[in-house]
Structure 1
Amino acid sequence: MFDLFDGRIARMRGQDGPFGREFDSLADIVSFGIAPALLVAKAVLFQLSPPEVGWGIGILYLLCAALRLARFNCMAAAPRKEGQSSDFVGLPVPMAAGAVVSTMYLVMYLAGRAPDGAMDLGVFKYVIALAMAGVSILMMSRVVYPSFKHINMRTRGTMYAIVFIVLAVICIFKFPWVMPAVIFSIYLLYGLVRPWVARRWRNRLEARDGE
Protein backbone atom coordinates (compact mmCIF):
# COMPACT_ATOMS: atom_id res chain seq x y z
CA MET A 1 0.00 0.00 0.00
CA PHE A 2 2.83 2.40 0.82
CA ASP A 3 4.44 1.64 -2.53
CA LEU A 4 1.23 2.70 -4.29
CA PHE A 5 1.18 6.13 -2.69
CA ASP A 6 4.78 7.21 -2.08
CA GLY A 7 5.31 8.38 -5.65
CA ARG A 8 1.95 10.14 -5.82
CA ILE A 9 2.60 11.99 -2.55
CA ALA A 10 6.08 13.03 -3.72
CA ARG A 11 4.68 14.38 -7.00
CA MET A 12 1.83 16.19 -5.22
CA ARG A 13 4.36 17.98 -2.98
CA GLY A 14 6.78 18.61 -5.83
CA GLN A 15 9.46 16.57 -4.09
CA ASP A 16 10.01 13.90 -6.74
CA GLY A 17 13.51 13.68 -8.18
CA PRO A 18 16.41 11.37 -9.08
CA PHE A 19 17.39 10.77 -5.43
CA GLY A 20 13.89 9.62 -4.50
CA ARG A 21 13.72 7.42 -7.59
CA GLU A 22 16.99 5.65 -6.75
CA PHE A 23 16.17 5.32 -3.03
CA ASP A 24 12.74 3.92 -3.91
CA SER A 25 14.39 1.29 -6.09
CA LEU A 26 16.66 0.24 -3.23
CA ALA A 27 13.61 -0.19 -1.01
CA ASP A 28 11.81 -2.09 -3.78
CA ILE A 29 14.65 -4.54 -4.38
CA VAL A 30 14.64 -5.41 -0.65
CA SER A 31 10.85 -5.50 -0.17
CA PHE A 32 9.82 -7.07 -3.48
CA GLY A 33 13.01 -8.84 -4.57
CA ILE A 34 15.11 -10.17 -1.69
CA ALA A 35 12.29 -10.73 0.82
CA PRO A 36 9.98 -12.78 -1.46
CA ALA A 37 12.93 -14.77 -2.84
CA LEU A 38 14.12 -15.73 0.65
CA LEU A 39 10.58 -16.40 1.91
CA VAL A 40 9.61 -18.71 -0.96
CA ALA A 41 13.04 -20.37 -0.98
CA LYS A 42 12.82 -21.17 2.74
CA ALA A 43 9.22 -22.41 2.54
CA VAL A 44 9.24 -24.21 -0.81
CA LEU A 45 12.21 -24.02 -3.14
CA PHE A 46 14.74 -25.75 -0.87
CA GLN A 47 12.40 -28.77 -0.80
CA LEU A 48 12.89 -29.35 -4.52
CA SER A 49 15.18 -32.08 -5.76
CA PRO A 50 17.92 -31.44 -6.61
CA PRO A 51 18.36 -28.37 -4.35
CA GLU A 52 20.17 -26.52 -7.14
CA VAL A 53 16.83 -26.12 -8.94
CA GLY A 54 15.41 -24.16 -6.02
CA TRP A 55 18.52 -22.02 -5.77
CA GLY A 56 18.37 -21.34 -9.51
CA ILE A 57 14.71 -20.24 -9.46
CA GLY A 58 15.28 -17.99 -6.44
CA ILE A 59 18.31 -16.34 -8.05
CA LEU A 60 16.46 -15.99 -11.37
CA TYR A 61 13.60 -14.15 -9.64
CA LEU A 62 15.94 -11.81 -7.75
CA LEU A 63 18.02 -11.08 -10.86
CA CYS A 64 14.93 -10.34 -12.99
CA ALA A 65 13.54 -8.08 -10.25
CA ALA A 66 16.79 -6.08 -10.12
CA LEU A 67 16.97 -5.80 -13.92
CA ARG A 68 13.30 -4.80 -14.10
CA LEU A 69 13.85 -1.95 -11.61
CA ALA A 70 16.97 -0.81 -13.47
CA ARG A 71 15.07 -0.75 -16.77
CA PHE A 72 12.21 1.17 -15.15
CA ASN A 73 14.62 3.82 -13.83
CA CYS A 74 16.23 4.21 -17.24
CA MET A 75 12.83 4.67 -18.91
CA ALA A 76 11.66 7.08 -16.19
CA ALA A 77 14.81 9.22 -16.56
CA ALA A 78 14.50 9.45 -20.35
CA PRO A 79 12.78 12.56 -21.80
CA ARG A 80 9.07 11.91 -22.18
CA LYS A 81 7.52 12.25 -25.62
CA GLU A 82 4.20 13.96 -26.14
CA GLY A 83 1.36 11.49 -25.67
CA GLN A 84 3.69 8.81 -24.32
CA SER A 85 1.91 6.17 -22.24
CA SER A 86 2.66 5.80 -18.54
CA ASP A 87 1.91 2.08 -18.61
CA PHE A 88 4.48 -0.45 -17.42
CA VAL A 89 6.57 -2.49 -19.85
CA GLY A 90 6.92 -5.84 -18.15
CA LEU A 91 5.23 -7.00 -14.95
CA PRO A 92 5.89 -4.47 -12.15
CA VAL A 93 8.09 -5.83 -9.38
CA PRO A 94 5.57 -5.19 -6.54
CA MET A 95 2.88 -7.08 -8.45
CA ALA A 96 5.33 -9.91 -9.17
CA ALA A 97 6.14 -10.21 -5.47
CA GLY A 98 2.46 -10.14 -4.57
CA ALA A 99 1.64 -12.83 -7.12
CA VAL A 100 4.43 -15.15 -5.94
CA VAL A 101 3.86 -14.78 -2.19
CA SER A 102 0.05 -14.88 -2.36
CA THR A 103 0.23 -18.03 -4.52
CA MET A 104 2.56 -19.61 -1.97
CA TYR A 105 0.19 -18.88 0.92
CA LEU A 106 -2.80 -20.13 -1.09
CA VAL A 107 -1.04 -23.40 -1.90
CA MET A 108 0.00 -23.85 1.74
CA TYR A 109 -3.61 -23.22 2.78
CA LEU A 110 -4.95 -25.76 0.29
CA ALA A 111 -2.30 -28.38 1.05
CA GLY A 112 -2.92 -28.43 4.79
CA ARG A 113 -0.66 -30.29 7.19
CA ALA A 114 0.48 -33.87 7.37
CA PRO A 115 -0.58 -36.06 10.35
CA ASP A 116 2.74 -35.34 12.08
CA GLY A 117 2.07 -31.58 11.87
CA ALA A 118 4.57 -30.86 9.10
CA MET A 119 3.63 -28.91 6.01
CA ASP A 120 3.15 -31.40 3.17
CA LEU A 121 3.04 -29.53 -0.14
CA GLY A 122 3.50 -32.57 -2.37
CA VAL A 123 3.26 -31.65 -6.05
CA PHE A 124 2.13 -28.14 -5.09
CA LYS A 125 5.73 -27.11 -4.52
CA TYR A 126 6.34 -27.55 -8.24
CA VAL A 127 3.34 -25.30 -8.96
CA ILE A 128 4.93 -22.55 -6.85
CA ALA A 129 8.31 -23.06 -8.51
CA LEU A 130 6.80 -22.82 -12.00
CA ALA A 131 4.78 -19.75 -10.99
CA MET A 132 7.91 -18.03 -9.66
CA ALA A 133 9.86 -18.82 -12.84
CA GLY A 134 6.97 -17.58 -15.01
CA VAL A 135 6.64 -14.36 -13.04
CA SER A 136 10.40 -13.80 -13.39
CA ILE A 137 10.13 -14.04 -17.17
CA LEU A 138 7.12 -11.69 -17.23
CA MET A 139 9.09 -9.02 -15.34
CA MET A 140 11.63 -8.88 -18.18
CA SER A 141 9.09 -9.31 -20.98
CA ARG A 142 7.65 -6.61 -23.25
CA VAL A 143 4.10 -7.26 -22.03
CA VAL A 144 2.37 -3.95 -21.25
CA TYR A 145 0.55 -3.62 -17.92
CA PRO A 146 -1.64 -0.63 -16.95
CA SER A 147 -0.14 1.62 -14.28
CA PHE A 148 -3.40 3.39 -13.27
CA LYS A 149 -1.29 6.51 -12.57
CA HIS A 150 -3.85 8.58 -14.46
CA ILE A 151 -6.62 7.82 -11.96
CA ASN A 152 -7.57 10.55 -9.49
CA MET A 153 -10.79 11.88 -7.96
CA ARG A 154 -11.59 13.75 -11.19
CA THR A 155 -11.28 10.68 -13.39
CA ARG A 156 -14.50 9.54 -14.96
CA GLY A 157 -15.55 6.21 -13.48
CA THR A 158 -13.67 6.76 -10.22
CA MET A 159 -16.78 5.92 -8.19
CA TYR A 160 -16.93 2.48 -9.79
CA ALA A 161 -13.26 1.99 -8.94
CA ILE A 162 -13.90 2.99 -5.31
CA VAL A 163 -16.78 0.50 -5.05
CA PHE A 164 -14.58 -2.22 -6.56
CA ILE A 165 -11.74 -1.45 -4.14
CA VAL A 166 -14.07 -1.52 -1.12
CA LEU A 167 -15.51 -4.88 -2.21
CA ALA A 168 -12.02 -6.25 -2.83
CA VAL A 169 -10.86 -5.19 0.66
CA ILE A 170 -13.93 -6.81 2.25
CA CYS A 171 -13.26 -10.04 0.34
CA ILE A 172 -9.59 -9.98 1.38
CA PHE A 173 -10.59 -9.83 5.06
CA LYS A 174 -13.24 -12.50 4.51
CA PHE A 175 -11.03 -14.86 2.49
CA PRO A 176 -7.45 -13.83 3.42
CA TRP A 177 -5.77 -16.93 1.97
CA VAL A 178 -7.62 -16.88 -1.36
CA MET A 179 -8.44 -13.33 -2.50
CA PRO A 180 -4.90 -11.87 -2.67
CA ALA A 181 -3.87 -14.65 -5.07
CA VAL A 182 -7.03 -14.08 -7.12
CA ILE A 183 -6.48 -10.32 -7.38
CA PHE A 184 -2.80 -10.58 -8.33
CA SER A 185 -3.56 -13.35 -10.83
CA ILE A 186 -6.26 -11.24 -12.50
CA TYR A 187 -3.79 -8.37 -12.98
CA LEU A 188 -1.09 -10.75 -14.25
CA LEU A 189 -3.42 -12.41 -16.76
CA TYR A 190 -4.97 -9.11 -17.86
CA GLY A 191 -1.63 -7.93 -19.20
CA LEU A 192 -1.35 -11.10 -21.29
CA VAL A 193 -4.84 -10.80 -22.85
CA ARG A 194 -4.86 -6.97 -23.00
CA PRO A 195 -3.82 -6.73 -26.69
CA TRP A 196 -6.93 -8.70 -27.67
CA VAL A 197 -9.36 -6.70 -25.50
CA ALA A 198 -11.45 -4.19 -27.45
CA ARG A 199 -10.33 -0.59 -26.93
CA ARG A 200 -13.75 0.39 -25.59
CA TRP A 201 -13.65 -2.29 -22.88
CA ARG A 202 -10.00 -1.56 -22.19
CA ASN A 203 -10.81 2.09 -21.52
CA ARG A 204 -13.61 1.08 -19.16
CA LEU A 205 -11.49 -1.43 -17.24
CA GLU A 206 -8.60 0.99 -16.90
CA ALA A 207 -10.83 4.04 -16.15
CA ARG A 208 -9.59 5.94 -19.20
CA ASP A 209 -11.65 8.65 -20.83
CA GLY A 210 -10.85 7.28 -24.28
CA GLU A 211 -10.97 9.24 -27.52
Structure 2
Amino acid sequence: MATVPGVRFLPNAITVLALCSGLSSVAFALRGPPQWFPAIVAIGIAAILDSLDGPAARLLNSTSRIGAELDSLSDLVSFGVAPAMVLYVWKFKNEHSIGYEWVICLLFVVCMALRLARFNSVLEDSTPKPYAKEFFTGIPAPAGGLLALVPLLLFIRLDDGFWTEQWVVSAWVVLIASLAVSRLPSLALKSMRVPQRLIVPLLVLLVVVVALEFYEPQLVLAIGLGLYLLHLPYASWKFQYLKRHPELWMDERSARISRSSSRRIRLSVRMPRRRRVAGRAPDGTPLPPARRRGAINQVRGRVQERRRLR
Protein backbone atom coordinates (compact mmCIF):
# COMPACT_ATOMS: atom_id res chain seq x y z
CA MET A 1 0.00 0.00 0.00
CA ALA A 2 1.61 3.23 -1.14
CA THR A 3 1.41 6.16 1.25
CA VAL A 4 2.60 9.72 1.11
CA PRO A 5 5.84 10.05 3.16
CA GLY A 6 4.42 12.92 5.20
CA VAL A 7 1.32 10.94 6.18
CA ARG A 8 3.46 8.32 7.96
CA PHE A 9 4.16 10.97 10.61
CA LEU A 10 0.48 11.19 11.59
CA PRO A 11 0.25 8.20 14.02
CA ASN A 12 3.30 9.36 15.98
CA ALA A 13 1.91 12.89 16.02
CA ILE A 14 -1.32 11.57 17.59
CA THR A 15 0.75 9.73 20.23
CA VAL A 16 2.70 12.90 21.05
CA LEU A 17 -0.56 14.86 21.37
CA ALA A 18 -1.85 12.22 23.78
CA LEU A 19 1.35 12.59 25.81
CA CYS A 20 0.97 16.37 25.92
CA SER A 21 -2.69 16.14 26.90
CA GLY A 22 -2.04 13.69 29.72
CA LEU A 23 0.84 15.71 31.13
CA SER A 24 -1.21 18.92 30.91
CA SER A 25 -3.53 17.51 33.59
CA VAL A 26 -0.72 18.05 36.12
CA ALA A 27 -0.56 21.72 35.11
CA PHE A 28 -4.32 22.08 35.75
CA ALA A 29 -3.91 20.47 39.18
CA LEU A 30 -1.01 22.74 40.15
CA ARG A 31 -2.78 25.96 39.27
CA GLY A 32 -4.20 28.16 42.01
CA PRO A 33 -7.01 27.45 42.55
CA PRO A 34 -6.70 23.94 41.12
CA GLN A 35 -8.92 23.05 38.17
CA TRP A 36 -9.77 19.45 38.93
CA PHE A 37 -12.28 18.66 36.23
CA PRO A 38 -10.13 20.06 33.37
CA ALA A 39 -7.33 17.86 34.73
CA ILE A 40 -9.55 14.78 34.41
CA VAL A 41 -10.76 15.89 30.95
CA ALA A 42 -7.14 16.19 29.78
CA ILE A 43 -6.50 12.56 30.77
CA GLY A 44 -9.76 11.55 29.03
CA ILE A 45 -8.64 13.29 25.84
CA ALA A 46 -5.32 11.43 26.09
CA ALA A 47 -7.27 8.15 26.32
CA ILE A 48 -9.27 9.03 23.17
CA LEU A 49 -6.10 9.91 21.26
CA ASP A 50 -4.45 6.73 22.49
CA SER A 51 -7.27 4.70 20.94
CA LEU A 52 -6.69 6.40 17.57
CA ASP A 53 -2.93 6.17 16.98
CA GLY A 54 -2.84 2.38 16.54
CA PRO A 55 -5.68 2.18 13.98
CA ALA A 56 -4.20 5.19 12.16
CA ALA A 57 -0.81 3.46 11.90
CA ARG A 58 -2.39 0.25 10.56
CA LEU A 59 -4.61 2.16 8.14
CA LEU A 60 -1.70 4.13 6.71
CA ASN A 61 0.64 1.12 6.75
CA SER A 62 3.12 3.04 8.91
CA THR A 63 3.55 0.78 11.93
CA SER A 64 7.07 0.87 13.36
CA ARG A 65 9.02 -0.18 16.41
CA ILE A 66 9.64 3.42 17.46
CA GLY A 67 5.90 4.09 17.27
CA ALA A 68 5.14 1.17 19.59
CA GLU A 69 7.76 2.28 22.10
CA LEU A 70 6.57 5.89 21.94
CA ASP A 71 3.01 4.73 22.56
CA SER A 72 4.03 2.84 25.72
CA LEU A 73 6.00 5.81 27.06
CA SER A 74 3.06 8.10 26.37
CA ASP A 75 0.70 5.71 28.20
CA LEU A 76 3.00 5.57 31.21
CA VAL A 77 3.07 9.36 31.51
CA SER A 78 -0.59 10.01 30.68
CA PHE A 79 -2.18 7.17 32.66
CA GLY A 80 0.45 6.45 35.28
CA VAL A 81 2.40 9.55 36.26
CA ALA A 82 -0.30 12.16 35.56
CA PRO A 83 -3.15 10.53 37.59
CA ALA A 84 -0.75 9.83 40.46
CA MET A 85 0.39 13.47 40.53
CA VAL A 86 -3.19 14.78 40.35
CA LEU A 87 -4.24 12.56 43.26
CA TYR A 88 -1.16 13.52 45.24
CA VAL A 89 -1.84 17.24 44.86
CA TRP A 90 -5.54 16.76 45.69
CA LYS A 91 -5.45 14.41 48.68
CA PHE A 92 -1.99 13.15 49.55
CA LYS A 93 0.16 16.27 49.62
CA ASN A 94 1.77 16.86 53.00
CA GLU A 95 3.77 20.02 53.50
CA HIS A 96 5.69 18.68 56.51
CA SER A 97 6.95 15.28 55.37
CA ILE A 98 6.70 12.59 52.73
CA GLY A 99 4.59 9.79 54.19
CA TYR A 100 2.87 6.66 53.00
CA GLU A 101 0.75 8.73 50.62
CA TRP A 102 3.70 9.21 48.32
CA VAL A 103 4.37 5.48 48.48
CA ILE A 104 0.80 4.89 47.26
CA CYS A 105 1.44 7.13 44.26
CA LEU A 106 4.73 5.40 43.52
CA LEU A 107 3.01 2.01 43.73
CA PHE A 108 0.41 3.10 41.18
CA VAL A 109 3.03 4.34 38.70
CA VAL A 110 5.17 1.20 39.08
CA CYS A 111 2.16 -1.06 38.52
CA MET A 112 1.25 0.86 35.37
CA ALA A 113 4.83 0.49 34.12
CA LEU A 114 4.75 -3.26 34.77
CA ARG A 115 1.38 -3.56 33.04
CA LEU A 116 2.67 -1.79 29.91
CA ALA A 117 5.87 -3.86 29.89
CA ARG A 118 3.80 -7.06 29.98
CA PHE A 119 1.58 -5.74 27.19
CA ASN A 120 4.64 -5.11 24.98
CA SER A 121 5.96 -8.61 25.66
CA VAL A 122 2.61 -10.13 24.64
CA LEU A 123 2.74 -8.25 21.33
CA GLU A 124 5.97 -10.07 20.46
CA ASP A 125 4.41 -13.49 21.08
CA SER A 126 4.47 -15.39 17.77
CA THR A 127 1.85 -17.93 18.90
CA PRO A 128 -0.95 -16.00 20.64
CA LYS A 129 -3.94 -17.91 21.98
CA PRO A 130 -6.82 -17.57 19.48
CA TYR A 131 -9.47 -17.36 22.22
CA ALA A 132 -7.61 -14.53 23.99
CA LYS A 133 -7.66 -12.03 21.12
CA GLU A 134 -10.77 -10.29 22.51
CA PHE A 135 -9.27 -9.78 25.98
CA PHE A 136 -6.63 -7.76 27.79
CA THR A 137 -4.67 -9.23 30.68
CA GLY A 138 -5.61 -6.89 33.50
CA ILE A 139 -7.35 -3.59 32.93
CA PRO A 140 -5.69 -1.44 30.22
CA ALA A 141 -3.69 1.63 31.16
CA PRO A 142 -6.22 4.27 29.95
CA ALA A 143 -9.01 2.65 31.97
CA GLY A 144 -6.73 2.34 35.01
CA GLY A 145 -5.71 6.00 34.85
CA LEU A 146 -9.33 7.17 34.69
CA LEU A 147 -10.60 4.69 37.30
CA ALA A 148 -8.04 5.96 39.82
CA LEU A 149 -9.66 9.41 39.57
CA VAL A 150 -13.21 8.26 40.42
CA PRO A 151 -12.99 9.59 44.04
CA LEU A 152 -11.98 12.99 42.65
CA LEU A 153 -14.93 12.89 40.23
CA LEU A 154 -17.32 12.21 43.11
CA PHE A 155 -15.73 15.04 45.10
CA ILE A 156 -16.28 17.47 42.22
CA ARG A 157 -19.94 16.48 41.84
CA LEU A 158 -21.02 15.54 45.39
CA ASP A 159 -18.47 17.40 47.54
CA ASP A 160 -17.00 15.72 50.63
CA GLY A 161 -18.09 12.27 51.73
CA PHE A 162 -16.69 8.92 52.72
CA TRP A 163 -15.23 8.67 49.21
CA THR A 164 -12.88 11.56 50.02
CA GLU A 165 -11.43 9.99 53.17
CA GLN A 166 -7.72 9.54 52.75
CA TRP A 167 -7.73 5.86 53.64
CA VAL A 168 -10.58 5.21 51.18
CA VAL A 169 -8.73 6.97 48.36
CA SER A 170 -5.54 5.08 49.22
CA ALA A 171 -7.34 1.71 49.21
CA TRP A 172 -9.03 2.59 45.91
CA VAL A 173 -5.73 3.49 44.22
CA VAL A 174 -4.12 0.26 45.48
CA LEU A 175 -7.11 -1.73 44.14
CA ILE A 176 -6.86 -0.18 40.66
CA ALA A 177 -3.09 -0.69 40.60
CA SER A 178 -3.59 -4.35 41.55
CA LEU A 179 -6.18 -4.84 38.80
CA ALA A 180 -3.77 -3.35 36.25
CA VAL A 181 -1.04 -5.92 36.99
CA SER A 182 -3.41 -8.82 37.70
CA ARG A 183 -4.05 -11.78 35.38
CA LEU A 184 -7.76 -10.96 35.36
CA PRO A 185 -9.04 -10.72 31.76
CA SER A 186 -10.91 -7.62 30.61
CA LEU A 187 -12.77 -7.13 27.36
CA ALA A 188 -10.95 -5.37 24.52
CA LEU A 189 -13.65 -3.08 23.16
CA LYS A 190 -11.87 -2.68 19.80
CA SER A 191 -12.08 -6.45 19.18
CA MET A 192 -15.73 -6.87 20.16
CA ARG A 193 -18.25 -7.61 17.42
CA VAL A 194 -21.79 -6.35 17.87
CA PRO A 195 -24.75 -8.25 16.35
CA GLN A 196 -26.42 -6.34 13.57
CA ARG A 197 -29.75 -6.15 15.41
CA LEU A 198 -28.08 -4.29 18.31
CA ILE A 199 -26.33 -1.62 16.24
CA VAL A 200 -29.28 0.81 16.15
CA PRO A 201 -30.14 0.51 19.88
CA LEU A 202 -26.48 1.00 20.82
CA LEU A 203 -26.22 4.09 18.61
CA VAL A 204 -29.34 5.53 20.25
CA LEU A 205 -27.87 4.77 23.68
CA LEU A 206 -24.62 6.48 22.65
CA VAL A 207 -26.52 9.62 21.64
CA VAL A 208 -28.35 9.64 24.99
CA VAL A 209 -25.08 9.24 26.92
CA VAL A 210 -23.42 12.07 24.96
CA ALA A 211 -26.43 14.31 25.64
CA LEU A 212 -26.33 13.53 29.37
CA GLU A 213 -22.61 14.23 29.37
CA PHE A 214 -23.35 17.91 28.75
CA TYR A 215 -25.66 18.13 31.79
CA GLU A 216 -23.94 15.85 34.32
CA PRO A 217 -20.42 15.21 33.00
CA GLN A 218 -18.84 14.16 36.30
CA LEU A 219 -21.67 11.84 37.31
CA VAL A 220 -22.02 10.21 33.87
CA LEU A 221 -18.27 9.62 33.66
CA ALA A 222 -18.17 8.13 37.16
CA ILE A 223 -21.11 5.81 36.40
CA GLY A 224 -19.51 4.74 33.11
CA LEU A 225 -16.24 3.89 34.84
CA GLY A 226 -18.14 1.99 37.52
CA LEU A 227 -19.95 -0.07 34.88
CA TYR A 228 -16.62 -0.81 33.21
CA LEU A 229 -15.32 -2.11 36.52
CA LEU A 230 -18.41 -4.29 36.99
CA HIS A 231 -17.87 -6.03 33.63
CA LEU A 232 -14.73 -7.79 34.90
CA PRO A 233 -16.58 -10.84 36.36
CA TYR A 234 -18.37 -11.33 33.03
CA ALA A 235 -15.09 -11.00 31.11
CA SER A 236 -13.47 -13.59 33.37
CA TRP A 237 -16.39 -16.00 32.87
CA LYS A 238 -16.35 -15.54 29.09
CA PHE A 239 -12.58 -16.06 28.94
CA GLN A 240 -12.78 -19.34 30.85
CA TYR A 241 -15.80 -20.46 28.82
CA LEU A 242 -13.98 -19.94 25.51
CA LYS A 243 -10.91 -21.65 26.92
CA ARG A 244 -12.98 -24.75 27.83
CA HIS A 245 -14.84 -24.82 24.49
CA PRO A 246 -12.25 -24.71 21.68
CA GLU A 247 -14.89 -25.59 19.09
CA LEU A 248 -16.24 -22.03 19.37
CA TRP A 249 -13.03 -20.43 18.13
CA MET A 250 -11.51 -23.36 16.21
CA ASP A 251 -14.44 -23.34 13.77
CA GLU A 252 -13.86 -19.68 13.00
CA ARG A 253 -10.11 -20.19 12.66
CA SER A 254 -10.50 -23.23 10.37
CA ALA A 255 -13.04 -21.35 8.24
CA ARG A 256 -10.59 -18.48 7.87
CA ILE A 257 -7.80 -20.87 6.89
CA SER A 258 -10.04 -22.65 4.38
CA ARG A 259 -11.03 -19.34 2.80
CA SER A 260 -7.40 -18.33 2.36
CA SER A 261 -6.52 -21.80 1.01
CA SER A 262 -9.36 -21.73 -1.53
CA ARG A 263 -8.22 -18.29 -2.61
CA ARG A 264 -4.72 -19.62 -3.23
CA ILE A 265 -6.14 -22.60 -5.14
CA ARG A 266 -8.24 -20.37 -7.34
CA LEU A 267 -5.20 -18.30 -8.12
CA SER A 268 -3.07 -21.35 -8.87
CA VAL A 269 -5.47 -22.98 -11.36
CA ARG A 270 -5.97 -19.85 -13.42
CA MET A 271 -4.98 -20.58 -17.02
CA PRO A 272 -2.21 -18.40 -18.45
CA ARG A 273 -3.12 -16.04 -21.22
CA ARG A 274 -2.07 -17.30 -24.65
CA ARG A 275 -0.06 -15.00 -26.87
CA ARG A 276 -1.40 -14.42 -30.35
CA VAL A 277 1.09 -15.54 -33.01
CA ALA A 278 0.83 -14.34 -36.61
CA GLY A 279 -0.29 -17.17 -38.89
CA ARG A 280 -1.81 -19.27 -36.08
CA ALA A 281 -5.24 -19.48 -34.48
CA PRO A 282 -5.75 -18.62 -30.76
CA ASP A 283 -5.44 -22.33 -29.87
CA GLY A 284 -2.05 -22.54 -31.67
CA THR A 285 -3.11 -24.51 -34.75
CA PRO A 286 -1.79 -23.27 -38.15
CA LEU A 287 -4.16 -21.23 -40.30
CA PRO A 288 -4.92 -22.04 -43.93
CA PRO A 289 -2.39 -20.46 -46.35
CA ALA A 290 -4.76 -17.68 -47.47
CA ARG A 291 -5.76 -16.66 -43.98
CA ARG A 292 -2.16 -17.00 -42.82
CA ARG A 293 -0.92 -14.50 -45.42
CA GLY A 294 -3.73 -12.08 -44.53
CA ALA A 295 -2.91 -12.31 -40.83
CA ILE A 296 0.80 -11.76 -41.46
CA ASN A 297 0.09 -8.74 -43.69
CA GLN A 298 -2.23 -7.35 -40.99
CA VAL A 299 0.47 -7.62 -38.34
CA ARG A 300 3.03 -5.99 -40.63
CA GLY A 301 0.62 -3.11 -41.27
CA ARG A 302 0.19 -2.54 -37.53
CA VAL A 303 3.97 -2.50 -37.00
CA GLN A 304 4.50 -0.01 -39.82
CA GLU A 305 1.69 2.20 -38.49
CA ARG A 306 3.29 2.29 -35.02
CA ARG A 307 6.70 3.16 -36.51
CA ARG A 308 5.12 5.96 -38.53
CA LEU A 309 3.41 7.41 -35.46
CA ARG A 310 6.72 7.49 -33.59
Question: What residue is the counterpart of 1:91 in the other structure?
Answer: 139
Q: Is the 8 A contact 1:68 1:139 kept in 2?
A: yes
Q: Distance in 1 between matches of 2:129 and 2:164?
A: 50
Q: How many angstroms apart in 2 are the aligned matches of 1:199 and 1:168?
A: 31
1:189 Cα deviation from its structure 2 partner: 2.0
Q: Is the 8 A contact 1:102 1:177 kept in 2?
A: no
Counterpart-to-counterpart distance in 1, 2:240 and 2:178: 26
Correspondence for 2:60 = 13
| Residue 132 in structure 1 maps to residue 194 in structure 2 | no
> Alpha carbons of 1:64 and 1:82: their partners in 2 closer, same or farther (altered >3 Å)?
closer
Q: Which runs of 4+ in 1 moved over 3 A?
A: 120-123, 154-161, 192-200
Residue equivalent to 1:110? 158
The alignment of Structure 1 onto Structure 2 pairs a total of residues equal to: 194
1:172 aligned residue (213, 232, 242) = 213
Residue identity opposite 2:229 in structure 1: L
Runs of 5+ consecutive residues of structure 2 not aligned to the other structure: 1-47, 242-251, 253-310
Tell me, in whole angstroms, the C-alpha distance in 1 between the residues paired with 2:87 and 2:122.
30
Q: CA deviation at 1:126?
A: 2.6
Native 8 Å contact 1:108 1:121 kept in 2: no
After superposition, the C-alpha distances for 1:45-92 in whole angstroms (9 at most, x for unaligned) are 226x98522111100100000110010011012114362422100011
Percent identity between the aligned chains? 27
Change (3 A) 1:100 1:110: same
Q: Does 1:23 align with 2:70?
A: yes
Structure 1 CA distance for aligned equivalents of residues 233 and 129 of structure 2: 26
TM-score by length of 2: 0.55
The structure richer in helix per residue is 2
| Structure of greater relative contact order (alpha carbons < 8 Å, 6+ residues apart) | 1
Is the CA contact (8 Å cut-off) linking 2:132 and 2:239 kept in structure 1? no
Residues 35-184 of structure 1: pairs in structure 2 closer than 5 A: 35-46=82-93, 51-81=98-128, 83-86=130-133, 87-111=135-159, 124-151=165-192, 156=196, 157-184=198-225
C-alpha spacing 1:165/1:199, structure 2 compared with 1 (3 Å): farther
1:44 and 1:71 mapped to 2: Cα distance?
A: 30
| Deviation by residue 1:144-190 (Cα, 9 ceiling, x = unmatched) | 111122257x9634434333332222222221121111111211221
- Could you tell me which residue of structure 1 aligns to residue 11 of structure 2? none
Whether contact under 8 Å (1:107, 1:124) holds in the other structure is: no
Structure 2 counterpart of 1:107, which letter? F
Whichever residue aligns with residue 207 of structure 2, its letter is V
| Structure 1, gaps ≥5 residues long | 113-119, 201-210
For the structure 1 residues 159 and 150, does the alpha-carbon distance in structure 2 shift closer, same or farther, using more than 3 Å as the test? farther
Worse-matched range after superposition: 16-25 or 101-110:
101-110
SS at match of 1:145: strand
Supply the distance in 2 between the matched residues of 1:34 and 1:191 (Cα, whole angstroms).
24
What RMSD in Å do the two structures reach over aligned CA positions?
Answer: 3.1
Q: Which shifted more, 186-195 or 24-33?
A: 186-195
What do the CA deviations read for 1:78-121 (whole angstroms, capped 9, x no partner)?
11436242210001110011111233121243225xxxxxxx98
Distance across 2 between alignment mates of 1:141 and 1:109: 31
Structure 1 or 2, whichever has the larger Rg, is 2
Distance 1:135 1:51 in 2: 22
CA deviation after TM superposition for structure 1 residue 11, in Å:
1.4
Please give the TM-score of this superposition, normalised by the length of structure 1: 0.79
Indicate the SS of the match to 1:16. Answer: coil
Change (3 A) 1:161 1:3: farther
Q: What is the distance in 2 between the residues matched to 1:162 and 1:2?
A: 21
SS at match of 1:79: coil
